[in-house]
């Protein structure tokens, strides 16, 4: 029997990953081990690169990811999600914390760890009150625009590390303007090493995606630099890495600092949660494992909170997930969260036994890792799809991208959320509506604009409004009903309102409906009825005194029932 059909205990609900691991099967081991080693190989360069992107020492990328991998393996609902440092949340965190730290390096490190703790608190609290639905605040056009803006920002952020040019600008256009003005200052050995590493990473991604291209590119660059003694020519290396594993500690920040971090943390939490949920659901849809439990949004909120709690206490920075570290092991046939545990062990071994090797990694190779990630997330096909389907959605995506690259990532998040809400409100404020007619051969009433052969009933108008009725569209609803009555030829004796699409009513809508009923009485419309209204809507109408016998509004379970009643009364 599939696992999703069996009742689950409290422990299985809180620790779904642990429940999977307790029922582990030997045939899964080979692909899980291979997938875990692959993810570990991907994490070594990515953790360091994304830590630098966050303005942190490279070693803190390892600190942030070790506990996060273990916790998600136990708490998360996805068998494949690759948690850890991610460029979008890293640069978002750096933007917000940099403004608060005011140039103090020690304070910056403490604030970054504290930011992870605030993100954790937000996510855990949201999980407790079951706010998993907030991921829907970011619509597809906003996500396409946001992630593309992040990709372009990542590209511009690596100009200095990739070319050796000293760049002072902190947003996309000023950075590239500085580069164009200082082409003569390019450090060619740095550019060559970075470009070679980038070529290896992108090439392996294209022709051998099962290989850890980032690790191969970074290690290859390190070997070349060491053999040719290129660090003597000015190529920067990672340098000394502290020995040992992180000691859990609470960052030394004040409560006022924590309060100042709240807006940044809210943005990181929203973006990280949305990214996690979409990535987890996408890979689950592709894998279609009948034994895997469905992705639970509220449990994913809890998992994101606990992984960030671990990252903050480990002197790290906020974490979320990586699409590449999710897709690659899944494509290799991995089955369970054991992949994350093996990846965590790989990182520990690298940090303890391979520290001397990590210290000789060239910084332009890490810049190449970030540029490769940026190129992967710039969503040109997404823009083409949006343009083909909806020019409005394409414009929203462009506006979101511009918000990210012209201002900063935090502003981009705000723009994304505002545009998502405005787009949703716009659709609800001016929804589709239709006059319905009867079409021979179809069991139901249809939009007369879509089906010109559909016949309306003389003396009867059937009207459908395809949205919940509330304060933003109540006036439009009333105006549209009056307009279609005026446009309809002949005198209407009955008005039937198809309420199938009206999932709710607020008090403003009730008042507007009451005024409409008064107008219909003055217009000598004998009967106003609602058809196919759901029970909560009927309850509101009943409590408002609008339904018969206390009010004038008649309710029918179907349109056909209303039409039969009209015909019977007309015949009599």
Q: What is the pLDDT of residues 423-475, one digit of tens each?
A: 888 888 899 999 999 888 777 789 999 998 888 888 999 999 999 999 999 99
Contact assessment for residue 553 and residue 522, using Cβ atoms and an 8 Å cutoff? no
Alpha carbon distances (Å) from 332 to 36, 250, 321, 344, 567: 10, 39, 18, 18, 65
CA-nearest of 92, 74, 424, 32 to 274 is 92
Is the pTM value of this prediction over 0.85?
no
C-alpha of 238 from chain center? 32
Asked if CATH classification 3.40.1280.30 holds for the domain at 433-571, the reply, yes or no, is no
Look at residue 5 in the predicted model and tell me its pLDDT.
43
pLDDT for res 407? 86
Helix (H) or strand (E) segment spanning residue 147: helix 140-157
514-549 confidence digits (pLDDT tens): 999 999 988 889 999 999 999 999 999 999 999 999
What pLDDT was estimated at residue 278?
Answer: 83
Closest CA to 516 of 544, 549, 556: 544
Q: Where are the domains of the chain?
A: 28-241+268-424, 433-571
Indicate if the pLDDT at residue 147 is higher than 90. Answer: no
pLDDT in tens, 167-180: 988 889 999 999 99
What pLDDT, in 10s, does the model give residues 206-240? 898 878 888 899 999 999 999 988 888 889 898 88
Written as six digits, the tokens of 83 are 């948690």
User: What CA dihedral angle connects 36, 42, 44 and 48, to 10 degrees?
Assistant: -140
pLDDT at 408: 78
In 3-state terms, what secondary structure has residue 495?
A: strand
pLDDT for 1 equals 37
């Amino acid at each position: 029997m599939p696992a999703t059909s069996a009742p689950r205990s409290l422990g299985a609900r809180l620790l779904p990953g642990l429940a999977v691991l307790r029922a582990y099967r030997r045939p899964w081991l080979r692909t899980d081990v291979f997938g875990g080693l692959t993810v570990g190989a991907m994490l070594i360069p990515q953790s360091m690169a994304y830590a630098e992107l966050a303005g942190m020492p490279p070693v803190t990328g390892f600190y942030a990811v070790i506990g996060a991998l273990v916790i998600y393996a136990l708490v998360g609902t996805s068998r494949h999600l690759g948690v850890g440092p991610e460029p979008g949340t890293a640069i978002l965190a750096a933007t917000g914390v940099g403004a608060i730290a005011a140039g103090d390096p020690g304070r910056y490190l403490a604030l970054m760890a504290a930011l992870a703790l605030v993100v954790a608190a937000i996510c855990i609290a949201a999980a407790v009150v079951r706010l998993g639905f907030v991921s829907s605040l970011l619509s597809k056009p906003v996500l396409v625009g946001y992630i593309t803006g992040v990709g372009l920002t990542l590209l511009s952020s690596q100009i200095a590390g990739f070319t050796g040019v000293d760049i002072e600008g902190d947003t996309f256009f000023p950075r590239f303007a500085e580069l164009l003005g200082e082409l003569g200052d390019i450090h060619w050995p740095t550019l060559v090493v970075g470009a070679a590493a980038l070529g290896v990473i992108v090439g392996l991604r294209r022709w051998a995606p099962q290989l850890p291209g980032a690790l191969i590119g970074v290690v290859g660059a390190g070997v070349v630099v060491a053999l040719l003694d290129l660090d003597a020519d000015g190529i920067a290396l990672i340098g000394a890495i502290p020995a040992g594993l992180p000691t859990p500690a609470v960052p030394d920040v004040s409560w006022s600092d924590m309060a100042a971090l709240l807006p940044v943390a809210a943005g990181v939490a929203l973006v990280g949660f949305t990214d996690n949920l979409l990535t987890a659901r996408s890979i689950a849809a592709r894998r279609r494992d009948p034994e895997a439990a469905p992705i639970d949004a509220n449990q994913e909120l809890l998992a994101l909170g606990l992984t960030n709690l671990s990252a903050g206490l480990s002197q790290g920075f906020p974490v979320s997930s990586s699409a590449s570290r999710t897709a690659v092991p899944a494509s290799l046939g991995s089955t369970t969260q054991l992949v994350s545990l093996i990846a965590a062990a790989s990182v520990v071994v690298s940090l303890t036994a391979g520290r001397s090797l990590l210290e000789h990694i060239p910084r332009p190779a890490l810049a190449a890792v970030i540029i490769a990630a940026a190129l992967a997330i710039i969503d040109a096909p997404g823009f083409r799809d949006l343009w083909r389907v909806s020019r409005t959605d394409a414009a929203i995506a462009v506006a979101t991208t511009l918000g990210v690259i012209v201002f900063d990532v935090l502003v981009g998040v705000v723009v994304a959320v505002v545009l998502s809400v405005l787009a949703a409100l716009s659709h609800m404020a001016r929804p589709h509506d239709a006059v319905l007619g009867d079409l021979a051969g179809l069991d139901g009433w249809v939009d007369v604009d879509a089906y010109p052969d559909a016949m309306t009933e003389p003396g009867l108008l059937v009207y459908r409004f395809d949205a919940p009725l509330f304060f933003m569209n109540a006036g439009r609803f009333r105006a549209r009903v009056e307009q279609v009555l005026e446009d309809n030829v002949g005198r209407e004796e009955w008005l039937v309102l198809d309420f199938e699409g009206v999932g709710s009513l607020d008090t403003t809508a009730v008042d507007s409906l009451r005024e409409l009923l008064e107008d219909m009485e003055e217009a000598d419309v004998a009967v106003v009825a609602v058809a196919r209204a759901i029970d909560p809507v009927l309850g509101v109408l009943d409590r408002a005194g609008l339904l018969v016998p206390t009010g004038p509004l008649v309710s029918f379970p179907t349109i056909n029932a209303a039409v039969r009643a009209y015909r019977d009364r007309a015949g009599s």
